[in-house]
Amino acid sequence: MGVRAVALYVGGSSLTSTIPGLTVAGRTLEDTLYTPTLDLEYLVTGMPITLSIIPMTPDGLPTPALLTRATLSLIKVPYLAVDAGTRYGLRAPHVRLPRGTYGNNIAEANAFSPGTARAIFEDAFLLGSSVSRGQDLTVIGETIPGGTTLAAAIMSALGYDGVSVVSSASPQNPKDLKKLVVSRALSRLGSRRDPFEVIDVVGDPVHVAMAGIASGALEAGARVMLAGGTQMGAVLALLKAMGRLDTRKVSVATTRWIVGDGSANMERIVSEVGDGVELIVSRVNLSSSRFEGLRRYEEGYVKEGVGAGGTMVLAEMMGVDPARIAETIDQEYERLVRLGQGLHG
């Protein structure tokens, strides 16, 4: 399929990710604040720079950025890493939103000072509109540990049952903890329902930046594909609250593992929060992978992130066979294993 597309992968941090038990997106609580930096550096360069860490857990479970990077190698699509507010910045080529900043722990304090969310949105809008001119499709992915909890808080603040529909990077979805965090965040919201005020209190830099990029892309005449899992509910809710959700031009693309997650409800998100936007699911299957770390995706680990599902969907739209995508993912995993042996051997 001949489609002119551009992809943006948005990273950001929230101190919410340091709440014990909330996320497995890092070997330690402090490591979760490095994850967006390392994901995006790896995506661009093939190896993290800020820390020399192979992007997989000690037991071989890789970052979903591996799936994204491998898939991008098969298609001629320009892409950008976007720093919307990472804790430690990036040392690889990227675009930094000028007023981007990381968020506070929403269980303990407001995410931002007043006006921050609007500033991030405005910067992201300009980026989305500038890179999307002349494109048919703008694909937007994310990396933010604790993101499903933050998304649940945003959706809840905007009138949806966020906790019940979001997934987790772990097979054991910590719903009780998420409910507690969201409840504490909402207790400071009061009667505020303006989407920017909501983000300043209970949000983070990534979801509002994605909404800004999407709005700018739509303004430039491109269609938008939100490349992610249940967190995309927060982006849809923000676009809807802003009056910017065009269901004819916005879709959500994700993995089979998200749709098959019994602890979440992706279909409900797109039907209720997204007013019926199209949901597209990648057909890539890793059950025949040569590597246990990749086969564990089929067991409910990780499931999605760094635009993996949407990038694979884009490749499938361009005629790449899902089996070829799976084999290329295997090859990239093998490269990382050899790289790790070289570092530690």
- In angstroms, the CA 45 to CA 48 distance is 7
Mean pLDDT of 299-309: 94
User: 254-274 pLDDT, tens per residue?
Assistant: 999 999 999 899 999 999 999
- Torsion from C-alpha of 253, 256, 262, 264, nearest 10 degrees: -20
Domains of the chain: 5-344 (3.40.50.10210)
Average pLDDT over residues 96-114: 98
Mean pLDDT, rounded, for 79-86: 98
Q: What is the pLDDT of residues 135-163, one digit of tens each?
A: 999 999 999 999 999 999 999 999 999 99
> What pLDDT score does 344 carry?
39
**Percentage, residues of the chain above pLDDT 70:** 98
**Sheet of 250-254, strand order:** 95-96, 79-85, 5-12, 137-143, 223-227, 250-254, 278-281
Determine the Cα–Cα distance for residues 56 and 61; give it in Å rounded to an integer: 5
pTM recorded for the entire structure: 0.96
d(CA 129, CA 134): 10
How far out from the chain centre does Cα 62 lie? 16
Q: Copy the structure tokens of residue 193.
A: 């329902």
216-228 pLDDT tens trace: 999 999 999 999 9
Main-chain dihedrals φ then ψ at residue 7, nearest 5 degrees: -125, 140
Segment among 12-26, 63-77, 142-156 with least mean pLDDT = 12-26
Mean pLDDT to the nearest integer, 303-310: 96
Q: What is the pLDDT of residue 124?
A: 98
Dump pLDDT digits (tens) for 233-254. Answer: 999 999 999 999 999 999 999 9
- Which pLDDT score is estimated for 345? 34
The predicted pLDDT at position 192 comes to 85
Residue 342 banded pLDDT, cuts 50, 70, 90: low
d(CA 90, CA 93): 8
pLDDT of residue 185: 97
